[in-house]
Amino acid sequence: MMRIFTCKSCSRIHLEIGNTQIHFNSPHCLRKYLKTLDSIDVVYFAAINRAKGLEKVIILPLDNNGSVHLGFTVREFEDLKAIIRNYLSGEKRQEDRFIGLDKFNVVSLN
C-alpha cells in the first residue's frame, strides 16, 4: 500500500510505501525525487534484474550509503511515480488517498 500526504503537524510531505516512510521538506524536493525516478531506464534494469532471478526488478537505494534498498516490480514502480505525480498536480490532495498494490491491482480508497 502506498500513501502520500502533507502532515498537518510538521508540514512535510510523507510518502509511505508499505512500512517504509520517506519524508520530503517541500514539493520542490518531491519534484526532484520524481525527476530522478523518471530518469531510470526501467526496461534495462528490469531485464538485468529478472536475469538475476529477482522478483522485484527495480531496486532503489533508500540511503546515501546504499545499504538499504526498496524493491519494486515494474507495475509497482509505475504506481509509485503515478501517486507522486497525482500529488504534485494537486488532484485529490487529501490525507486519505491510497493506492493499494495487491497483486498488481491498483485500488483507490477514498
pLDDT tens per residue across span 11-49: 999 999 999 999 999 999 999 999 999 999 999 999 999
**DSSP string covering the chain:** -EEEEE-TTT--EEEEETTEEEEESSHHHHHHHHHHHHTS-HHHHHHHHHHTT-SS-EEEE-STTS--EEEE-HHHHHHHHHHHHHHHTTTT--TT-EEEEETTEEEEE-
Residues 43-95 pLDDT 10s: 999 999 999 999 999 999 888 888 999 999 999 999 999 999 999 998 544 44
- Name the nearest CA neighbour of 97 among 4, 8, 14: 4
Residues in the chain, total: 110
Q: What is the pLDDT of residue 90?
A: 87
Cell 485500488 belongs to 107
For the record, the C-alpha cell of 76 comes out as 509497482
